[in-house]
Amino acid sequence: HVQLVESGGESVQAGGSLRLSCEISLYIYTSYCMAWFRQAPGKEREAVAAIDADAAPIYADAVKGRFTISKDSAKNALYLQMNNLKPEDTARYYCLADGPLGYGPTCLHWRSYNYRGQGTQVTVS
């Protein structure tokens, strides 16, 4: 049974930084798409960042230049470094893994992933 456990979310002031981590309990093919999504109260869920089958990162326009997605295949883990945080980044952030074996925008569809975590809350004031 695969479990994804996110950590690192907390309350920070605007301009601050956080690093989210996602630990995956069992081995999965990290060469497949992996991603971070977020959802704020009253708003639609949105893709934040993903890594595709070429290990190329993809970012939402709202976070480009501020967020960095990375993975550690040896540790079966996914990370999201978030810098220069803004109040509009406030949301619950979800780690997704075992997505499609694809590239670019193929990795940005929530329903195409087999596993997702329970999320970690990020609040920026």
pLDDT computed for residue 59 by the predictor: 96
Q: What is the mean pLDDT of the segment spanning 102-108? A: 89
pLDDT computed for residue 58 by the predictor: 96
Burial of 123 (0-12, 13-18, 19+ CB in 10 A): middle
Question: Up-side HSE of residue 23: CA atoms within 13 Å toward CB?
Answer: 4
- In this predicted model, what pLDDT tens digit does every residue of 37-74 receive, in sequence order? 999 999 999 999 999 988 899 999 999 999 999 999 88
pLDDT computed for residue 7 by the predictor: 97
pLDDT computed for residue 115 by the predictor: 92
pLDDT tops 80 at residue 30: no
